[in-house]
Amino acid sequence: MTEQAQEQEQPSNKIRVIVPEGMTFADLKLTKNAETGEVSFDLEAVRAVCVATGVDADAVFAHEGNVNSLIVAWYGVHRMDGGEPDVVFESLIADAKKASGEMQ
């Protein structure tokens, strides 16, 4: 089985995200509501990545920051593997940069 992985720096540890074979970032079904800014995604896709990675999905889901870190690492794997930019994720990156003052 071919697995894709990336180490994502964390404050006290590293996560080596493994994406199950045949799964793509599009399977996350990432969306952002233009009116509310609410972000949604497929929880089962995140759960599948957790299982492949060997982490407890319930522990990941217990803290929003853990979910965010997992999705960021997954996107890194996607892009490193030659995947096309995801419009929603790229807009979230731009929003974060704008909020932090990196973009004006």
Spatial contact of 51 and 57, defined as CB atoms under 8 Å apart: yes
- List the pLDDT tens digit at each of the 104 positions of the chain: 444 544 444 344 567 899 999 999 999 999 999 999 999 999 999 999 999 999 999 999 999 999 999 999 999 999 999 999 999 999 999 999 999 887 65
Q: Identify the residue whose tokens are 């995947």.
A: 83
CA nearest neighbour of 69 among 13, 15, 27: 15
CA distance 43 to 57: 10
Cα 99 from Cα 77, distance rounded (Å): 25
pLDDT at 63: 94
Per-domain boundaries in the chain: 4-100
